[in-house]
Amino acid sequence: MPDAGSLRSVRLDEEAGELELIDQTLLPNRTVLLRLSDPRDIREAIYSLRVRGAPAIGIAAAYGVYLAIRRSAARDWDALAVEFRAAKGLLASARPTAVNLSWALDRMERRLDAARGRPVGEVKNALLEEAEAVRAEDEEACRAIGENGLSLLGPGWGILTHCNAGWLATSRYGTALAPLYLGAERGYGFRVFADETRPLLQGARLTAWELDRAGIDLTLICDNMASTVMKRGLVKAVLTGCDRVAANGDVANKIGTSGVAVLARHYGIPFYVLGPVSTVDLACPTGAEIPVEERPAEEVTDRWYVRRMAPEGVKVLNPAFDVTDAGLITAIVTERGIARPPYGDSLARIVQP
Ligand code: MRU
């Protein structure tokens, strides 16, 4: 599948004891690799969206908690566990909405607990193995999501996507963009419309960069142009990623996603959500229980402008995500299959087969 080539959004350099990240805040103008080992720096990178996208922040956190104990001088499991839990708490607090973050950290903690009482070196190896498994399984999942997603699409289709759910947001291939990479390889000739995705411009900066590098036909639009593009008949399907899928099929994803879903329903266009099973949170009954991250006002008023573009002191609302009602979602595409409404049944069957 054509994708990032040798570039990876998140990679462990085990020999150096460092996490290597592409600083996504600098794209598309500069491709800068950060090398981090301190969990405080990794937390900062997640909070500041240097690494972003639900699966990618889960992987970064899994490596982060491993690196936190890798150089520990602790002599026994109990002392190591204290350090592990401090790093876990720090990393878990970076961003609240994407469940992959806490999912990956909980998984690492289960591995730690399973190694209770074992020699320190053995515990460290077990945690390295688990973090590598989190990454490798995500790569496998993204490939399968690509295949499953492609089965819903036809050659020559116009596809609209929101935010960035490509390889930058995952271990590799992406979720919503994986079928597009696969389709490109198989000659589907998709025409992709990318919402710019205000306020942080993941669509303009990241999706446009990714798809352009892959030679996929891409047209960038402002978020408020989606209706016109749909009305002109240019869009046959919408593909988006997800940060948390509630048990009833409500989906939290980048702010603006729910508006796109409402438009898709209006114009009779299928709205597909793509994500790994690790993004489904069966413990969360509905979207109302999903915590939505609020981010600084500066991202709306200043961030991408040469000069501030709003009066000083103006009130600003900056929720980073919104929740799309399950009723607006045509299907949820996972690596284990495609869930259709009613999602209460179909998601449970896929997640707990
Ligand atoms: O704030 P971000 O850029 O981390 O938001 C990312 C999204 O909303 C993605 O669509 C989602 O995480 C899925 S990434 C495969």
Q: Residue 309 and residue 327: Cα distance in Å, rounded?
A: 37
How does pLDDT run across 164-220, given as a tens digit for each residue? 999 999 999 999 999 999 999 999 999 999 999 999 999 999 999 999 999 999 999
Give phi and psi for 169, each to the nearest 5. Answer: -95, 0
Q: Which atom of ligand 1 is nearest to the CA of 253?
A: 8
Q: What is the mean pLDDT of residues 243-249?
A: 98
Does ligand 1 come within 6 angstroms of the Cβ of 177?
no
- pLDDT tier, 284 (very low <50, low <70, confident <90, very high otherwise): very high
pLDDT value, residue 3:
64
Question: Is 169 touching ligand 1 by the criterion CB < 6 Å?
Answer: yes
Which position among 243, 250, 281, 322 bears the catalytic label? Answer: 243
For a pocket test of ligand 1, which of 242, 245, 258, 300 has the largest count of ligand atoms closer than 8 A to its C-beta? 242
DSSP category for residue 319: B
Question: Where do the domains of the chain lie?
Answer: 10-138, 144-351
User: Which atom, in ligand 1's list, is nearest to the CA of 57?
Assistant: 4
What whole-number distance in Å separates Cα of residue 67 and Cα of residue 234? 47
What pLDDT is attached to residue 353? 79
CATH of domain 10-138: 1.20.120.420
Tell me if 97 sits within 8 A of 320, measured CB to CB: yes
The CA distance from 257 to 272, in Å, is 11
The pair of structure tokens assigned to 97 is: 């909405």
Q: What is the CATH number of domain 144-351?
A: 3.40.50.10470
pLDDT above 70: residue 2: no
pTM (global) more than 0.85:
yes
Q: Is a pLDDT exceeding 80 seen at residue 4? A: no
Q: Please give the distance, rounded to the nearest whole angstrom, from the Cα atom of residue 114 to the centre of ligand 1.
A: 31
Q: Is 106 a catalytic residue?
A: no
Atom of ligand 1 nearest to the CA of 170: 15
- Tell me, in angstroms, the distance from the centre of ligand 1 to residue 130's CA: 23
Mean of per-residue pLDDT scores for the chain? 97
User: Can you spell out the DSSP letters for 284-310?
Assistant: S-SGGGS---B--THHHHTTT-SS--S
